């Protein structure tokens, strides 16, 4: 199964959270459910607190939940947010298990490059 990973940006921090990262097969419908308070609890709390919520970034379509889990486990959503970090956030790679994992800009698919080895080794 493949879908879209999305990053929501809150206008200010709610306790510790300034972002929400999620996965969906129906992005417009999922965002509508979030905004109607029928989504993630943290997004509902942000709405109740009067915070603005903005779709900051997407990966996909064509990505799976594995990438969502990798991104969530890093607990660094703000570094991938172009609202917080400008266009440099769109160029961030992920360092996973000793290798860089890059997200292709056009397709949103994860790219694991071949291991780099110095010459002569």
With contact defined as beta carbons under 8 Å apart, do 101 and 110 qualify?
A: yes
Q: What is the pTM of this model?
A: 0.73
CA-nearest of 56, 119, 118 to 92 is: 56
Classify strands 110-111 and 99-103 as parallel, antiparallel or unpaired: antiparallel
| pLDDT averaged per 10 residues, the chain (length 121) | 85 89 89 88 92 88 81 83 78 52 56 49 50
Scanning the structure block, which residue is given the tokens 């660094």?
A: 76
Question: According to the model, what pLDDT value does residue 15 have?
Answer: 84
Question: According to the model, what pLDDT value does residue 113 have?
Answer: 47
For residue 81, report the phi and psi dihedrals to the nearest 5 degrees.
-95, 115
Question: According to the model, what pLDDT value does residue 43 have?
Answer: 92
| Element of type H or E holding 3 | strand 3-14
């Amino acid at each position: 199964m493949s879908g879209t990973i999305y990053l929501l940006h809150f206008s200010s921090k709610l306790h510790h959270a300034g972002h929400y990262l999620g996965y969906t097969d129906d992005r417009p419908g999922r965002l509508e459910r979030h905004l109607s308070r029928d989504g993630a609890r943290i997004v509902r709390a942000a709405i109740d607190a009067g915070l603005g919520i903005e779709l900051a970034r997407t990966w996909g379509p064509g990505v799976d939940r594995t990438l969502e889990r990798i991104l969530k486990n890093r607990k660094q959503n703000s570094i991938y947010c172009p609202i917080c970090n400008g266009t440099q956030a769109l160029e961030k790679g992920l360092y996973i298990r000793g290798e860089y994992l890059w997200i292709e800009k056009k397709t949103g698919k994860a790219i694991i490059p071949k291991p780099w080895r110095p010459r002569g080794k």
